[in-house]
Structure 1
Amino acid sequence: MQATSSTKCGSTVAALNEACFCVSLDQAALVNVLAEQLGDSELSDLLKSRCPHVFAARPVFVSPSRLRQVSEVIQAIEQTVSSPGWREHALNSAPPIARHDPRGAWGVFFGYDFHLSEDKLGLIEINTNAGGAMLNVLLARAQRSCCSGVVGLSPGQEGPGGFEQSILHMFAQEWSASGEKRPLTRVVILDESPQAQYLYPEFLLFQRLFESAGIDCIIADPADLAFHNDCLLVDGKPVDLVYNRLTDFYLEGDNCSALRSAYLADIVTVTPHPRAYALYADKRRLVDLTNSSFLEEIGVDQQVRAVLAQYVPLTVPVEHRNAEQLWERRRSLFFKPVSGFGSRGAYRGDKLTKRVWEEIVGGNYVAQSLLAPGERRTIADPQVRPMKFDLRAYAYAGKVQWNAARVYQGQTTNFRTEGGGFAPVFTLGEEEERTGSTEQRSHASFTFLLDETGAVDELPHPQYLALVRAEKATSTLAGKRFRLADWYVAIEDGRPSKVIREWYGWVAFDAAGGYHPERGSPKNDESDSDDNIDSTALPTREEHDRIEELLFKSE
Structure 2
Amino acid sequence: MSDLSSVIIRQPVPLKCGDLAEMIRLVRSLYRLSQLPQYRSAVQSEVPPIAGFDPGHDSVMMGYDFHVTEQGPRLIEVNTNAGGILPSWLSNSPENASENVLHKKAPSPRRCNQLLETFAEELRRFRGDRNIKPRHILVLDENPSEQHLYPEMQAFADLFESWGVKATIADPAALYTDMSGIYFQGEPIDLIYNRHCDFYLETDEMSAVREAYRNRRVCLTPNPFTYALLGDKRRMVMWSESEWMKAVCANRRILETVQRLVPYSTLLSQLGRERAWQQRKELVFKPVSRFGSRGVYIGAKISRKRFETLPDQDTLAQTLVPPSQLTLPGQEKPHKVDFRLFAYRDRVFAVTSRVYRGQVTNMSSEGSGFAPVMVNGDNLAE
TM-score clears 0.5: yes
Select which of 262, 265, 278 maps to 1:315. 265
What displacement does 1:221 show? 1.1
Select which of 42, 47, 63 maps to 1:94. 47
What displacement does 1:320 show? 6.8
What displacement does 1:411 show? 0.9
CA–CA distance in structure 2, aligned partners of residues 199 and 321 of structure 1: 36
Show the counterpart of 2:60. Answer: 108
Inter-CA distance 79–320: structure 2 relative to 1 (3 Å threshold): closer
Query: Structure 1: which amino acid aligns with 2:343?
Result: A
Show the counterpart of 1:284. Answer: 234
Show the counterpart of 1:538. Answer: none
Superposition pairs of residues 286-435 of structure 1, within 5 angstroms = 286-319=236-269, 322-362=272-312, 364-379=314-329, 382-428=330-376
**SS where residue 229 of structure 2 aligns?**
helix
CA–CA distance in structure 1, aligned partners of residues 20 and 270 of structure 2: 39
What displacement does 1:134 show? 1.7
Contact 1:117 1:375 in 2 (8 A): no
Contact 1:404 1:425 in 2 (8 A): yes
Select which of 168, 172, 177 maps to 1:222. 172
Inter-CA distance 292–320: structure 2 relative to 1 (3 Å threshold): closer
What displacement does 1:238 show? 1.0
Contact 1:392 1:404 in 2 (8 A): yes
Inter-CA distance 383–267: structure 2 relative to 1 (3 Å threshold): closer
**SS where residue 275 of structure 2 aligns?**
helix
Does structure 1 residue 129 correspond to structure 2 residue 81? yes
Does structure 1 residue 258 correspond to structure 2 residue 208? yes
Inter-CA distance 237–143: structure 2 relative to 1 (3 Å threshold): closer
TM-score normalised by structure 1 residue count: 0.64
**SS where residue 217 of structure 2 aligns?**
coil
Point out which structure has higher relative CO (alpha carbons under 8 A, 6+ apart). 2
Inter-CA distance 310–420: structure 2 relative to 1 (3 Å threshold): same
Show the counterpart of 1:520. Answer: none
Select which of 1, 14, 21 maps to 1:68. 21
Superposition pairs of residues 75-224 of structure 1, within 5 angstroms = 75-102=28-55, 104-142=56-94, 160-178=108-126, 179-180=128-129, 181-224=131-174
TM-score normalised by structure 2 residue count: 0.91
What displacement does 1:420 show? 2.6
Give RMSD over aligned pairs. 1.9
What displacement does 1:408 show? 1.2
Q: How many pairs are equivalent?
A: 367
**SS where residue 378 of structure 1 aligns?**
coil
**SS where residue 184 of structure 1 aligns?**
coil
What displacement does 1:424 show? 1.0
**SS where residue 385 of structure 1 aligns?**
coil
Contact 2:8 2:90 in 1 (8 A): no
Inter-CA distance 383–135: structure 2 relative to 1 (3 Å threshold): closer
**SS where residue 89 of structure 1 aligns?**
helix
Contact 1:140 1:160 in 2 (8 A): no
Deviates more, 1:386-395 or 1:130-139: 130-139
Contact 1:99 1:275 in 2 (8 A): yes
CA–CA distance in structure 1, aligned partners of residues 346 and 319 of structure 2: 25
Contact 2:136 2:191 in 1 (8 A): yes
What displacement does 1:160 show? 4.1
Show the counterpart of 2:99. Answer: none
CA–CA distance in structure 2, aligned partners of residues 86 and 270 of structure 1: 23
Inter-CA distance 160–91: structure 2 relative to 1 (3 Å threshold): farther
* Residue ranges of structure 1 left out of the alignment (5+ in a row): 1-37, 145-157, 431-555
